[in-house]
Homo-oligomer: A and B are copies of this chain.
């Protein structure tokens, strides 16, 4: 029941020169389902990533951080679904390393040039031998046209594959940005993890890409919330192959800002797709906080509203429930918040001002907006010029059903 989630036609999914993708059936998740994905990057590719802040970081996340900090270029990614290799202790670290060693052999590169990713059940040992056995088949499948296939094979409990692809001119050069993501849907108990992979054939100096990936994540994957739970495996990677005749060496290069902008938009689209496909979602909400004193302040308010179960159930019910939104703003943690300065809009309807319902507000106007599948909640705090936007979904019976299902 994804909300307006668009899957682009194959013809609009542009390969990224320098990136090949292969998938295979390793039998980790379930039979008859590709659950192993390999990315192969050409030499000279810059790779950077950001990872979950959860202290319960899964083994593959810790291996990724080590390999990214190393001196060798990253040349391949390996992703399995069905098992998150999280909460698996020392054996889990071994399993993640073994996977890298095995893929390195197949591709004739060094294990430190491989980044491993796992998503699926937590606290279960990773069946590494199944992965190792399937790696040659995944490698044999490597092709630059396999993005949609990869979007399918990294899915756990997502209902739809998530792909974004676009082309833009940097200077006179046409470059491509294509990426995939999978959801944070913890649909079955212990199913976790949001993954995002974005690639471009533009060239970016590794140090610049490191800053870029953080900035991009902050504008995209760090601006969505489904249920406030941060998984043990969340990972987001950007690879820049440099196959296009564009090489960005300095932030001062005007193409840096252009590319940053384009990557942020692509990542934001991938992030929003995760919310649109969140478990039980029937509505997609954009929470926009304006006139905040600081960006941190704006985010506090946006998340308080976006994560309030009472607000989310009200949206599920299409109930223009102003009280709950104002209440969430009130407990967001801004100690000197003057409620008299707050204005609240549902879509284009001004519903509250001066700490009370706006005189012109009519229930039927709020009702009209709440019935839509995509709703903008705009909050002006009257404190300054900072603004932030967070994306979320509603809270439905289906969410509870999905998450209360016993593991099976």
A321 CB to nearest B CB, Å: 4
CA distance A88 to B352 in the complex (A): 11
Provide the residues of chain B in CB contact with A172, threshold 8 Å.
none
Contact of A355 among B87, B317, B352, B405 (CB under 8 A): B87
Q: Are B87 and A352 in contact (CB under 8 A)?
A: yes
Q: Are A395 and B400 in contact (CB under 8 A)?
A: yes
CA distance A329 to B314 in the complex (A): 28
Q: Are A331 and B89 in contact (CB under 8 A)?
A: no
Chain A, range 318-346, C-beta contacts under 8 Å to B: 319, 321-324, 326-331, 334-335, 337-339
**Copies of this chain per assembly:** 2
Provide the residues of chain B in CB contact with A330, threshold 8 Å.
54-57, 230, 232
Complex interface: stretch among A33-41, A106-114, A142-150, A305-313: A305-313
Q: Are A400 and B403 in contact (CB under 8 A)?
A: no
Contact A356:B192 (CB < 8 A) given known A54-B330, A331-B55: no
Chain A, range 388-408, C-beta contacts under 8 Å to B: 395-397, 399-401, 403-407
Q: Are B356 and A314 in contact (CB under 8 A)?
A: no
A309 CB to nearest B CB, Å: 4
Provide the residues of chain B in CB contact with A322, threshold 8 Å.
87, 122-123
Contact A87:B356 (CB < 8 A) given known A324-B189, A406-B317: yes
Q: Are B404 and A317 in contact (CB under 8 A)?
A: yes
A306 CB to nearest B CB, Å: 12
Chain A, range 48-91, C-beta contacts under 8 Å to B: 53-57, 86-89
Q: Are A323 and B55 in contact (CB under 8 A)?
A: no
A202 CB to nearest B CB, Å: 34
CA distance A55 to B352 in the complex (A): 15
Chain A, range 221-257, C-beta contacts under 8 Å to B: 227-232
A58 CB to nearest B CB, Å: 10
A248 CB to nearest B CB, Å: 33
Contact A229:B355 (CB < 8 A) given known A317-B406, A330-B55, A406-B317: no
Contact A56:B309 (CB < 8 A) given known A229-B331, A327-B122: no
Residue of B nearest to A322 (CB): B123
Contact of A339 among B56, B186, B338, B356 (CB under 8 A): B56
A117 interface residue per 8 A CB criterion: no
Residue of B nearest to A356 (CB): B89
CA distance A54 to B339 in the complex (A): 10
A316 interface residue per 8 A CB criterion: yes
Provide the residues of chain B in CB contact with A309, threshold 8 Å.
227-229, 309, 395, 399, 403
Residue of B nearest to A229 (CB): B310
The DSSP consensus for interface residues of chain A is loop
Q: Are A229 and B308 in contact (CB under 8 A)?
A: yes
Q: Are A404 and B54 in contact (CB under 8 A)?
A: no
CA distance A229 to B305 in the complex (A): 10
Q: Are A400 and B406 in contact (CB under 8 A)?
A: no
Chain A, range 89-143, C-beta contacts under 8 Å to B: 89, 92, 121-123
Q: Are B316 and A400 in contact (CB under 8 A)?
A: yes
A50 CB to nearest B CB, Å: 15
Provide the residues of chain B in CB contact with A294, threshold 8 Å.
none
Q: Are B403 and A87 in contact (CB under 8 A)?
A: no
Contact of A314 among B231, B307, B321, B404 (CB under 8 A): B404
CA distance A333 to B340 in the complex (A): 32
A354 interface residue per 8 A CB criterion: yes
Residues of A within 8 A of B (CB): 53-57, 86-89, 92, 121-123, 186, 189-190, 192, 227-232, 307-310, 313-314, 316-317, 319, 321-324, 326-331, 334-335, 337-339, 352, 354-357, 395-397, 399-401, 403-407
Name 5 A/B residue pairs within 8 A (Cβ), A-sorted.
A55-B329, A89-B356, A123-B322, A309-B399, A313-B403
4 new A-B contacts at CB < 8 Å, known A229-B310, A231-B327, A313-B403: A87-B323, A190-B323, A230-B330, A316-B404
